[in-house]
Structure 1
Amino acid sequence: MIMQRTIREPVSVEGLSLHTGNPVRIVIKPADADSGYVFKRVDLPDEPTVQVSVDNVKQTERATTIGEGNVKVHTVEHVLAALRGCGVDNALIELNANEPPIGDGSGMFLVNEILKVGTVEQDKPVSFFELREPVWVEGEDGAYIAAWPDQNFSISCTHVSHTGLFTQYFSWKYDIKSFVTDIAPARTFVFYEELVPLIEKGLIKGGSLDNAIVIRGGTIYSQQPLRFENEFVRHKIFDMIGDFALFPKRLKARIVAARPSHFLNVKFIREIQKAYKNYLSHLMPLKIYP
């Protein structure tokens, strides 16, 4: 039986947020078993919390935003991916702004801190959902995410740009070690043509070549060499792991995706949640005999 885990002791990181451009401090703290992931806005009166759940998703343009009432937290996917990928099931995530720091655009600035302190086993088992039948969702321009029943969790992903350049593929099976070495280091990226519309919408105020890769035509602009030949698709998988953490159970499924996005990831998880509720509704009630 696999038991739940939480972070051994608090860790904190300071930096700039990607979309708002604000300086922010994130503190990740241990949390009780079965509490899942909870964000706390310590910059607001009464320090309100937001439970990580697909039911609390408010926006999916270029990032995933969650909220409860008037309280929102933007760009949660990298934090959630770092926690889920490192095997952390429960955590309290404190922020003194409305968005976590972006670091270098990858998950390593958080993963390294988690690995430094390690995790501790808790007194309740991990709750898995093993998919019973295929799930398929579609987006625009041929984008899709499909899932089939499997004993493990794996993602095979194809990234295709709107220009047809930099088409990349990567297949990955969940394992903490391979997450740290093969997925978490991959950085976020953006196409040059997308920059002006994003700026006009008030996004990427904290974006720079220090925390993102910019692609213009066939040229890649980056402060350092690519970390992987197929770094873009690996970051897509990183984002998927984070968005999939909006579902409270650990998923057992073989996932195949093409051109995934935050919108499509959330659409997929909503279907997974429906499948889980359907599974529960078909369970036979326990009959108690005298």
Structure 2
Amino acid sequence: MLVHTIKEVREQVKAWKKEGLTVGYVPTMGYLHEGHRSLIEKAVSENDRVVVSVFVNPTQFGPNEDYEDYPRDIQKDYALCTDAGANLVFNPEPEEMYFPDKCTTVNVEGLSKGLCGAKRPVHFGGVCLVVSKFLNIVTPDRAYFGEKDAQQLAIIKRMVRDLSMDVEIVGCPIVREADGLAKSSRNTYLSAEERVAALVLNRSLTKAKAAMEDGLRCVSEIRDLIESEIKEEPLAKADYIEIVDSETLQPVESVERDVLVAIAVYIGKTRLIDNFTFRLA
């Protein structure tokens, strides 16, 4: 079922809950791919009913970012959702989600300052606002987020904890193309040449992970290893290379606990992200 209003979602979810059914929720910005499918299928496997939202959220885009150009195809998205087992697809207009005179903000301090937040200062405030709204609308038992957006996942988990929201946040592994590129809606922006160049993200992280598994613990050396690999690709320009505590997202100088190794790289004009979490035995 494809719906466009908050009222329709609430009525359907209330009906399911009266039957004692559990509800899973997958938030997306649309133009869905196999990574999104994996989230939906995970939700289907763990819940009686699943809601997917498809909404390009304007509040998480800063000036000169790609809000207007962000790819959209609701019919294709709806087909993927239903094929993956979703029961309800919520595709609202911005006017349905936001009042013209809205004045409420939701910010998670600290965790949103570094990594992607350093260059996109309004981004995570917009993410937190829209996710909190969707969680209030859908009232799911569980909500599913991809680990590719590792900072977003950490921030959402902290927001839910701090605000005592009655929902379990489930992180799901990165889904990759056969050649290792993390699946992303923004991959469609890449030319054929840029698509090949984009493999440098996974290649540089794979090299760093191997070095860490061999015992490398100095963060500056790990960063240099990643940077040197990226510099070998003429079409690539690193936006950031960070190694941070996997829970607090604060920088560390040495790997003495679980860390997130995260990068953002421009391939031509397209900004891509990738990461892995290194867990000490």
Q: Do the structures match in fold with TM over 0.5? A: no
Normalized per residue, which structure has more strand?
A: 1
Q: Which structure shows the higher helix fraction?
A: 2
State the structure with bigger RCO (CA 8 A, min sep 6), 1 or 2: 1
Give the TM-score of the pair, scaled to structure 1: 0.26
